[in-house]
Amino acid sequence: MENENVENVKEEVSIESQDNNSIKISDDVVAVIAGVAVSEVPGVSGMAGGFAGGITEVLSGKKNLSKGIKVEVGEKETKIDVNIIVEYGTRIPDVAFEIQNRVKKAVETMTGLKVIEVNVHVQGVNTDINNQEQENVQE
């Protein structure tokens, strides 16, 4: 039981206020904030998560918002790695730049942590052209 508490402390960021009160932010919270920001970027087809992330989605029936996001949090700063799949025909540097801007803004605004790196890893391209043509016709 005591070991579980120690593990939880390692996964949380502690922010001290002027009154010696603290706020604890879990790594998972930072990952979810980043994941939501990435999902709003046009040109992102999906997140490239590991095998475990896909199993979690299947078993829970819920969308894993932190899928494909790796977060390293220090005392007052964080590094974020994002693994994505882009839509065919989009300009990858533009998509990556937009992800970096949105993730940095969202995490810094919501947590107060300084984002020192947002690394975007393009893991694949969605080439399902038939679905994209149908979506364009419906719009």
* Cα 12–chain centre separation: 16
The mean predicted confidence, pLDDT, of the chain is 79
CATH number for the domain harbouring residue 62: 3.30.70.1350
Give a yes or no: residue 1 inside a domain: no
Number of domains composing the chain: 1
How far out from the chain centre does Cα 21 lie? 28
pLDDT in tens, 64-115: 788 899 999 888 899 999 999 999 999 999 999 999 999 999 999 999 999 9
3-state secondary structure of 126: strand
Output the CA angle 114-31-15, nearest 5 degrees: 45
pLDDT of amino acid 26: 85
Does the residue 18 lie in any domain?
A: no
Residue 12 within any structural domain of the chain? no
pLDDT digits (tens, 9 = 90+) for 35-64: 999 999 999 998 987 654 445 455 555 567
Q: What is the pLDDT confidence band of residue 136, given thresholds at 50, 70 and 90?
A: low
Domain that holds residue 51: 25-138
Q: Is residue 34 domain-resident?
A: yes
Q: What is the pLDDT of residue 21?
A: 72
Residue 7 located in a structural domain: no
Q: Copy the structure tokens of residue 80.
A: 């974020």
Q: Quick check: is 100 in a domain?
A: yes
In a domain, 16, yes or no: no
